[in-house]
Amino acid sequence: MDMISLTLILIIMTALISYQAFSNTGMKYKLAFHPASVREFGQYYRFLTSGFVHADWQHLILNMYVFYLFGEQLELFFSNNLFEPMVGRLIFLFFYLSAIIISDIPTYFKHKNNTAYSSLGASGATSALLMAYILFDPWGWFLFPPLPGIVFAVAYLWYSSYMSRKGTDLIAHDAHLWGAVYGLVFMLALAAIFSPELLQYFINSLLEGPRAPSFM
């Protein structure tokens, strides 16, 4: 019997925690990333827990859609191609959880003295997965939205940058950019260390250029 994927387990966990927090404001703010509380009270757990709580259904569904779309494929690649199955799953888990944490580090230094600032969501981790996946097939088309992967990535990051500047919600838009950078660095470093031929594959895939959508 096939094991349930870590991607699905993490999605279910995130959905359950986020759903509880929708109607529990105290829980939401306790788990959210609040740099001032990290600095003043040493609440470092917020670097991780903020990735498991979301502002509303729209925020949750968008992040979990992106997570499912790219997480399943990357988890399979890690466990079936790069490493032994169990090792690959553990490295995938480390990648996801570390992306949540690392994508919030720049935000911490930016807002550690701002008691009014807090953010939440798995945005950093989903951005990391997105960019890592697109290295494999930058011109591959997604059915929804109907865009090549590299175009979807640029649009996703543009939206994140715009919403970060607007600053009207609790969503961790800053983390999108840093998560994307981490995803690229992590995947390229992993390829360089464990499978150098992947680096050439990434370059060749990018140089292939645009192609017609396969679903037409």
Q: Is residue 1 part of a domain?
A: no
Cα 122 from Cα 100, distance rounded (Å): 6
Q: Is residue 17 part of a domain?
A: yes
Q: What is the pLDDT of residues 27-41, one digit of tens each?
A: 999 999 999 999 999
Find the Cα–Cα–Cα–Cα dihedral 35, 25, 58, 187, rounded to 10°: 30
Q: pLDDT band at 174, cuts 50/70/90?
A: confident
Can you give the CATH number for the domain in which 158 is found?
Answer: 1.20.1540.10
Q: Average pLDDT of the chain? A: 89
Predicted local distance difference test score (pLDDT) of residue 176: 84
Q: Is residue 173 part of a domain?
A: yes
Q: Is residue 59 part of a domain?
A: yes
Number of domains making up the chain: 1
Q: Is residue 131 part of a domain?
A: yes
* Mean pLDDT of all residues in 114-123: 90
Q: Is residue 216 part of a domain?
A: no
Range of the domain at 27: 6-207
Predicted local distance difference test score (pLDDT) of residue 23: 93
Q: Is residue 146 part of a domain?
A: yes
Q: Are 128 and 185 in contact (CB under 8 A)?
A: no
**pTM for the whole thing?**
0.89
> What residues have CB less than 8 Å from 85, skipping those under 6 apart?
79
